[in-house]
Structures are given as structure tokens and as C-alpha cells.
Structure 1
Amino acid sequence: MAPLRWGFMGAGKISNDFAAAIDTFSKDEHMKVAVAAREKHNAEAFAKKFGFEKSYDSYESLAKDPDVDIVYIGTVHPKHYELCKLCIENNKHILCEKPLTIRLEHTQTLIKLAEAKGKFFQEAVWSRFFPIYERIRQEIKAGSLGEINLVTAVFGFNDQQTSRLMRKDLGGSSLMDIGGYTIQFALQVYGPEMPEKIRAVAIKNDYDIDVSLAIMLQWKNGKIAQLTSSFLAKMDSSAHIWGSDGSLKVHEPFHCPDQMTLKGKVEKHSLPSVKHSLEFPNGQGMVYEVQEVKRCIDNGLTESPYFTHKETLIIAQIEDEIKKQIGLSFEEIYSTDKETWIEAV
């Protein structure tokens, strides 16, 4: 198979870790072609660090680059929609960081456009490609936990200073930044179906975004998920599956894990080694995401079967209802000519 030729939009922390993951592969598999950032010097520094061939201060230039097969989007959340749309219009494969967008209608639009183009299009919910998530799928399929009626997941840390977390104009929100990880965990266990009941309460800050959030989801068969996300408290960010014949715990950090406990027995899965320093815990686990993207494209798939467009849409629908219940809206971001930007996550 031909190497996959990558372009990056955004040169921040999350892009750092994804580039480090790509760097573990040979150029016969993956090539780092171009990076674009709002500031030319940021793109140039990122390109030099990771060995990209080109750097741009224009996202449109990267989208039009004929040497780029796939674009990785690692900018702040409010920019995902327009950048994904730009890449779709230029016939690129896309891997976009979560959340895909911060408005349900934008997510619906992008998936329709991408499916019409027949290109690979994926929300980067990297959790699903870790070995422990494969183990979860195996145990659920085998029925080893018996009847599962309760899932719990918490994700929290104390950070009230980081602008992109705290400010609405930058897409800040515990729901949109980390809450999606708890929701995807519930869907991994129960399957890609909309819950029948959604209940949510939140603590909000002066920017009117949720900084701590509690969610209850219930499906028509009675199954429940209790989920929490917070920027106010350091939590044991773990997840549990509770069954009639036993339980499974995914240890902290559950969204990128290397350890789980199944019926009291601990399993450890070593993560790959990378050459560069990382910005996020277990960031080297992005290697699994890189592998899955290549596997899908080589086999003509337009989405990963381990995290489908259907699941992206369901999570967006759940989040939309939660936003309504807690009074969270990002509409003003898109109804003003004033542009506020922080380069990348």
C-alpha cells in the first residue's frame, strides 16, 4: 500500500502528541507532508521539530495541497466545522479531534457532506482503538459480566485557568471537552442507540459554561449510565461496568487506559514507545489511532467500525439535549463578526 500523506491543521499540544505517534512509523507507511497554523513561525517551528516537508500560515493552502491525502485537525473546537468543510470540499480524508463540532446541526451537515464525497471521515475518539477497549468489546460479546444494567464514568481535574476550557468563545465546557469521553464509554457498553431519558445538572462559571456536570442516561430497556465531568475537582478518572456476574473497571485515565480490573484480576497493557516528549497522559496511545486510520483507508472504509458516524451523531444529539437542560449555547460565537482564536488545543 502507498504511504498515507498527512497534513496538520493546528500546531498545539494535541497535534504534538499525534505527530509523535506518526513519527513511530516508517515513511513507507506514513509521511508528514505539511502543517498549517495561524502564525507562520508556529507552523515553521512545528515542521522543523517533527520533520514536515512544508509549513503554511493558511489553512486553505494546506487543504488545496495535492501532496496531502489526509488532514488531521487539532484546532480549538469552534473552528472544527469550517476546517472540516474546507477539507471535504478539497477531497481530503479527515481525522478531526473531538468534539467534531459544538453544534448538532454542524455535525449532521459534515457527516452528510463527507459521506457524499466517499472519503474517510472520522471524529478522533482515540479511546476506542486502545487494546483495553478491544478487551471490553470481547468481554461484552462473551457475556462474561452477565446482565449489565449500570455503567459509571467520571473524568475530572482542577483547572480553572486554561482559557480554552473556561471561555465560551473558545468552545470551553466540561461537556464538550471531556464529557464526551464519558458518553462514548456508555455507548461502547450499551451500543449505539439513543437513550430514552437524559437528565443533567451543572455548575457554571462567569462565562456561562459548565465547569462541573452530572449526567444520567437511561435506555428503554432500563439500563442506566451515571456520568460526571468536572474542571473543579481532581477525580479518579475511571469507568466501571457493573454486571450481574461481576464488574470491569477501567483505571485512570479511562479514556486512554493501560490497565483494567476484570472480576478482581488486574490486566496491564503496555503502551507503545515514542521518540518525542508528550503533552498529555498516555499520549503515545495515539499510535493505535494512526494504525486504525491507515487500516481503514487501505481497505476502502470511510469510517472506523470501532467508532462510527452513527455514534458521532448520537453523542452530538445527547450533548445537544444536555446543553438545552443546563442552558448552554454557543450560538453567539457564530453570530458575531468578531473572531477570537487560540492557535490549538
Structure 2
Amino acid sequence: MATKWGIASSGLISHDFVNAISILPASDHQVVAVAARGLESAQKFANTFKIPKAYQGYDSLVSDPEVEVVYIGATNPAHFPIAKLMLEGGKHVLCEKPLCMNMKETTELVELARQKNLFLMEAIWSRCLPAYQAVENEIKKGTIGEVKNVFVTFGKKIEATRLHTKELGGGTVLDLGVYCVQLASLAMGKVAPKKVIAGGHLGPGGVDESTSATVLYSGNRTATLVTSSQVDLPDEAYIVGTKGTIKVCYPMWTPTEIETPGGTQSWVLPTGNILPFNYGNGGNMTFEAQHVRECLLDGLKESPLISLDETLIIAQIMQDIRTQAGVVYPQDG
């Protein structure tokens, strides 16, 4: 039986997620409804992807008995209220990263999902990719020995209003830095760090345009994370161990190639989407959708690739970085 998806928000990332689902067998995945703040937007989205139902507002989506799991692709500040609504209504949730704006919201959402015994996953699609699973396997095999250092950057010249506006949940840490943080977390064994030392520069909108963070882990291990919306950084990652190095090639958040001491490993992007993607390597979102389906079929309430405990760790690191940079959101009050 197909996994039946509802889509919350009709923006660019939701477009890419549904476009990726179109690559997968219809016998496994069906998008049965889409909801947006405006009915016209929802209907346009539904027409584009031949989705049977379009709703204005999210209450109708949560009350639709056909919807099994909801993908949330709204702006950052809307993640928490929409996800809370869906969980309270008995729906499983895959929510775009960052899951929430801060630790307070993240903790409440995780506790609610566990209380309701529902599946909740932060949509860090990187973790579902063959490249990332290969990285984790190489580390576990001891290919590079004990991991001691991680160096990762994510920077793009981005002028999008949402990234520079506090009320829209802007800032490089939440949008770009989450990918750096999760990669460091993966390399360091998915444990909480001992300390975060960070700083950054704020733009006119009061959110970070660039940050640099040193994350200190037990065992004399260190991760260095750099973000920017002002310049194009290398957007690569290096995981350095006592016996060698793994390079996660550009684009490190959705790679198709890694370099290891044993040689280069590469993968081909999934193809067959019905429309062009808005973001690079969008076909890789198929792995995320399929992973959620497999979790639901197995009766899991958390992803083994990105657990809710690790989501809490990632949220705390991001909060530490952006607050040390001087960013305070309305949700922090």
C-alpha cells in the first residue's frame, strides 16, 4: 500500500519534494493533498502535480483521514505551529530543517511526538543519501582511525529576503549552518559537545550574515564550522582521523562523491522527475521520502539516521552559535 502524503506549504522546497516523489513508484508514494495559507496557491500547486485535494489553511489537512504523513516545507517560524497541529491531530510528520527556531520549541515538539506515539523527523535529507551512509560506514570501519577534527563550510551569496529577515527566521546558522552542524555531529558519533565557541556578523535585519564556530568534543576532538550569505565558500567537508581523511565533496549537504583513503566513491543522481528542480541535486530528496516510508512500514517513531535525541543536540549547538553571534528571535522571548 502506498504511503499517503499531505504537503503543508506550496513553496519552492515543497515543489522539489513532491517533484522528487514523482520519481518514485506511484505504488509506494501518493501525494493526496496540499495545503497553503492561500487557496489559490494550493490549487496551483495541486494542478501542477495533479494532487487530488487543495486546502486553504492547515486545519483541513490535519482533518483529512486519507493523509498519513505530512511534509512541512513552510518558512522556519511556521515549522513549530504547523508540526504541533499535525501531531496533535494524529499525523506523522517530516518537517524541513531546522525543525524549530530554538531549543524550547524543539523540546516541546519532540516531547509531543513521543507522547502521541507518532513519527517525527527533521528533514535533514543529507543523512538519507548513499554518500552520507558511506561516510558513516567508513568511520565505523576505522578507515581513518579515530576522528579528531572536522572542517566544514557552507556559504552562498544569497539575497533572498527570508534569509535576512528576523521575523522570517533568517540567518545563516538556521538555513545553512544546520548542514555543517549535522555533519560534525555525524563524524563525532552523534554525541553532545562539551563546549561551543562562536561569533559572527549581523546584517541590517538583525540576523547573522556570517558565523564561525569551534565545537569542542570529548577526547580532544574539534569541529570548525563556517557559514556565510555574503560569499561562496568551498562548501566541502573534511573529516580528519588519526589514520587518514574523508573529504565530502561539493555540495557537501547533498553530495554525489566522497574521497577516502581507499579511493573516490561516487553515485548517480536519481532521475525521472516531471519538472525541473529549484535547488541543486533535488533528485536526492527521493532517498528521504523513501526512508520515511520504510520507517513507517517498520512501525518506527524515529529515524535511525537522524534520531530525535540527535535533533535536540543539533538544535542546541545552533542555538549556542547564533546567540553567541548576537541573534535573538521573537520565539526566544
TM-score range, shorter chain: over 0.9
**Dislocated runs of 4+, deviation >4 Å:** none
Rounded to whole Å, the distance in 1 between the matches of 2:146 and 2:102 is 35
Partner of 1:270: 268
Q: In 1, are the aligned partners of 2:120 and 2:302 still within 8 Å (CA)?
A: yes
Cα shift at 1:240: 0.7
Q: In 1, are the aligned partners of 2:35 and 2:61 still within 8 Å (CA)?
A: yes
Letter in 2 for 1:80: H
Residue-by-residue CA offset, 1:293-317 (whole Å, 9 max, x unaligned): 0000000001110110011000111
Q: In 2, are the aligned partners of 1:212 and 1:230 still within 8 Å (CA)?
A: yes
Partner of 2:119: 120
Partner of 1:17: 16
Q: In 1, are the aligned partners of 2:176 and 2:227 still within 8 Å (CA)?
A: yes
Identity of aligned residues (%): 36
Partner of 2:256: 258
Letter in 2 for 1:252: Y
Rounded to whole Å, the distance in 1 between the matches of 2:204 and 2:43 is 36
Gaps of 5+ in 2: none
| Structure 1 residues 264 and 236: CA distance shift in structure 2, 3 A | farther
Partner of 1:288: 287
Rounded to whole Å, the distance in 2 between the matches of 1:323 and 1:145 is 31
Cα shift at 1:63: 1.1
Cα shift at 1:264: 7.2
Cα shift at 1:322: 1.9
* Residue 200 of structure 1, aligned match among 177, 198, 201: 198
Rounded to whole Å, the distance in 2 between the matches of 1:141 and 1:158 is 35
Q: In 1, are the aligned partners of 2:155 and 2:229 still within 8 Å (CA)?
A: yes
Q: In 1, are the aligned partners of 2:177 and 2:226 still within 8 Å (CA)?
A: yes
Alignment map for 1:306-345 (pairs within 5 Å): 306-331=305-330
Partner of 2:7: 8
Alignment map for 1:148-297 (pairs within 5 Å): 148-159=147-158, 161-263=159-261, 265-273=263-271, 274-297=273-296
Alignment map for 1:22-33 (pairs within 5 Å): 22-33=21-32
Partner of 2:75: 76
Partner of 1:130: 129
Cα shift at 1:220: 2.0
| Structure 1 residues 264 and 25: CA distance shift in structure 2, 3 A | closer
RMSD of aligned alpha carbons: 1.2
Rounded to whole Å, the distance in 2 between the matches of 1:87 and 1:151 is 36
Q: Could you tell me the TM-score, scaled by structure 1's length?
A: 0.94
Letter in 2 for 1:193: V
Number of matched pairs: 332
Rounded to whole Å, the distance in 2 between the matches of 1:298 and 1:262 is 34
Letter in 1 for 2:167: D
Rounded to whole Å, the distance in 2 between the matches of 1:281 and 1:275 is 15
